[in-house]
Amino acid sequence: MLRTATRLARRPRNAPAAVLSRPSSSAAHVQDDHHDHHEQDDTVYPREGFTGPIWRKTLVCTVGAVLFYECLGAPLDNTLPWVPLSDVAGPTSWLDIASTRAAKEKAVLEGRQLVRSAERPPIYRSRNPEEFNQISPFGNAVGMDVRWGKPSAGTGTVPDMGTILSNARK
């Protein structure tokens, strides 16, 4: 019987090796060798607290910032220790600057309003503009289009306005 079992376990000569070796997930897990015990880190770290150099530097910077803020003065006080008084503009000059800026802004806004309110001129179009090229005063018979009105004082007779271009007879 052992001989029969070894024959079945033996690989055929024409079968590839990858087909025969198919380990299950549990078999692969058993062969996994990264479950061993690692050595512990023997580095000794210093004890942490508020006495370290970073906390001392932070305290010095905080005290320096508070003292600097106190040296600035009150918010209503216009004297700054590092700015000369000749460089600080007075309230009247600020009002002058603000008024000139407001005048310039008003001019710009009026220009924008002018551009926004602009309209194209109306275009009057004739339905059949080719009629103007076909009208000839010589194609009409004498007296067909003109109605003569009352005689004027100096020239004799004058045609009525608006009847020259009309083709209707009265």
Average of per-residue pLDDT values in the chain: 72
3-state secondary structure of 160: coil
The mean pLDDT value for 35-46 works out to 79
Residue 36: pLDDT band (50, 70, 90) is low
3-state secondary structure of 107: helix
Q: Identify the CA nearest to 160 among candidates 146, 140, 170.
A: 146
The model scores a pTM over 0.75: no
Residue recorded with tokens 């005063």: 137
pLDDT of residue 3: 63
**Residue 147 CB neighbour total at 10 angstroms:** 14
Burial (0-12, 13-18, 19+ Cβ within 10 Å), 9: exposed
Q: Secondary structure of the chain in the HEC alphabet? A: CHHHHHHHHCCCCCCCHHHHCCCCHHHHHHHCCCCCCCCCCCCCCCCCCCCCHHHHHHHHHHHHHHHHHHHHCCCCCCCCCCCCHHHCCCHHHHHHHHHHHHHHHHHHHHHHHHHHCCCCCCCCCCCCCCHHHHCCHHHCCCCCCCCEEEEECCCEEEECCCCCCCCCCC
Q: How many CA atoms lie within 13 A of 30 on its CB side?
A: 5
Among the ranges given (22-26, 46-50, 52-56, 65-69), the one the predictor scored with the smallest mean pLDDT = 22-26
The mean pLDDT value for 93-100 works out to 87
Among the ranges given (91-95, 124-128, 157-161, 166-170), the one the predictor scored with the smallest mean pLDDT = 166-170
- Domain ranges in the chain? 53-77+89-116
